[in-house]
């Protein structure tokens, strides 16, 4: 091998760093540049608009410290609602249109197998919920009023359930 080809082969194997000064600058830059990038990211993240702990509004404080449960006072002496009235207010939205698989109002074919299960089973389904229907008990209407709505709904489809009556102490 000639000296010229040997020098060229040696040049092919060297990297971009040719002097110790270049190596020192490259080492320094590979440490300092990431540090500045990290500092910049930290400033970017911490400068976002955030409310200070003392800058809360009364509403946000009230929401944070509210009690887990609430007490709702209702008029115990209000007149008992009729089944048709409860149906229109609570049940019609789904049963009139047949939403989410709800049997339609007055659809005898859809209601016949359900009516065969009996009033108690239907009332239980209405109060506790079944399939896509949410529980109706514990809402704006008493269990007795929900029972009256069940009777109204099934009567339109051929059911012959007797409408539940308020206990003697509650009758007015």
Q: Please list the residue range(s) of the chain that carry CATH number 1.10.760.10.
A: 83-155
Cα separations in angstroms, 79 against 32, 88, 119? 80, 17, 23
* CATH code for the part of the protein at 83-155: 1.10.760.10
H or E element at residue 55: none
Of 140 and 39, more confident: 39
In this prediction, residue 9 has a pLDDT band, given cuts at 50, 70 and 90, of low
The answer to pTM > 0.85 is no
């Amino acid at each position: 091998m000639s000296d010229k080809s040997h020098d060229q082969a040696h040049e092919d194997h060297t990297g971009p760093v040719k002097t110790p000064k270049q190596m020192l600058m490259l080492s320094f830059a590979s440490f300092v540049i990431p540090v500045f990038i990290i500092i910049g990211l930290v400033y970017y993240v911490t400068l976002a608009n955030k409310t200070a702990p003392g800058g809360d509004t009364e509403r946000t404080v009230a929401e944070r410290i509210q009690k887990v449960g609430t007490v709702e006072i209702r008029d115990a002496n209000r007149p008992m609602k009729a089944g048709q009235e409860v149906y229109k207010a609570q049940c019609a939205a789904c049963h009139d249109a047949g939403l989410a698989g709800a049997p339609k109002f007055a659809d005898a074919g859809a209601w016949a197998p359900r009516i065969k299960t009996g009033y108690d089973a239907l009332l239980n389904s209405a109060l506790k919920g079944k399939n896509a229907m949410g529980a109706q008990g514990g809402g704006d209407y008493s269990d007795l009023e929900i029972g009256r709505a069940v009777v109204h709904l099934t009567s339109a489809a051929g059911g012959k359930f007797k409408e539940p009556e308020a206990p003697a102490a509650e009758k007015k």
